[in-house]
Amino acid sequence: MAKTNTIKIKQIGSPIRRPESQKKILIGLGLGKMHRVVELQDTPEVRGAIAKLPHMVQVID
């Protein structure tokens, strides 16, 4: 069975005073509270969402 690639993402920025679209991207990634960590599959869609929020999320090795 093949192992799927995953990526860990940590929220480092607050969604307060951010545009609604950025808040929706955070919710779509499974984030929303500070310092929450989620593990998602490493897909182009997830990478694109991360690229739109470089000031609010951090990729953890």
CA distance 18 to 31: 14
Which band of pLDDT confidence, cut at 50, 70 and 90, is reported for residue 4?
Answer: confident
Kindly state the tokens that stand for 8: 């860990």
Whether pTM > 0.75 for this model: the answer is yes
Compute the average pLDDT of residues 16-21: 96
Domains of the chain plus CATH, in order, are: 6-60 (3.30.1390.20)
What per-residue confidence (pLDDT) applies to 1?
A: 54
What per-residue confidence (pLDDT) applies to 27?
A: 97
